[in-house]
Structure 1
Amino acid sequence: MAQLLDLRRKGFKPACACVYDDSSDLFKEAAQTWRKAPNRSAGGVLHARIQLDETDLPERIDFRPLTGLEVHLLGFRGDERTVRLYEAIKRTGPQLLAALTTTTLMIFKKETGDELHPNP
């Protein structure tokens, strides 16, 4: 998150941000190197990647750098925690926020609010 905060203060806005609630080495690597590796499949734009630790409390994380961004939340630590993270991120005013639980696809759009879609 510190990398994104620093870049946002300098006026940079990534195409989107992916928030990974997982401690695996793959997500740690992605979170550490995202600003050096543009997304080739999206025309070379940067997608911010943020990795959360299991000890991070969703309500205490400063998600303000996500304000105005398209955010994809990938919660791998259970539905309850994913919903808590979704609500915490939503309070910062993202342009769009999407998160999947075992039963629901949750989408928040700044213009229209929450949409809940059953996950088959």
Structure 2
Amino acid sequence: MDNYEIGLDVVFHALADPTRRAVIQRLGRGPATVSELAEPFDMALPSFMKHVRVLEGTGLIRSTKIGRIRTCTLEREKLAAAERWFAQQRALWASRYDNLDNLLEKLQGESYES
């Protein structure tokens, strides 16, 4: 398994949780404090911070602390890696569907010739 796949594994693990996906979605609109990010969720701040640490550990987000305020920002490059993986999968399946379409057209043409 190469480093690219290992990196994707941790990204997909982080994105497997709906709370973390919601945080990523919110940060897509711009930076936010941890308090702002935690507000929509019915959980204690220490529990929410576990989600933040997972996202930081994967490199999906970055946080900075000024005084008592921790602000998070989205690190788009890790998401771009996941997007590239999905694009590769889409291209592979599109090619397979094209091949199937070509085969079906060929078989249809042969059945009309018979």
Q: TM-score, normalised by structure 1?
A: 0.24
Which has a greater percent of helix?
Answer: 2
Which has a greater percent of strand?
Answer: 1
Q: TM-score, normalised by structure 2?
A: 0.25
Tell me which of the two structures has the higher relative contact order, counting C-alpha pairs closer than 8 angstroms and 6 or more residues apart.
Answer: 2
Structure 1 or 2, whichever has the larger Rg, is: 2
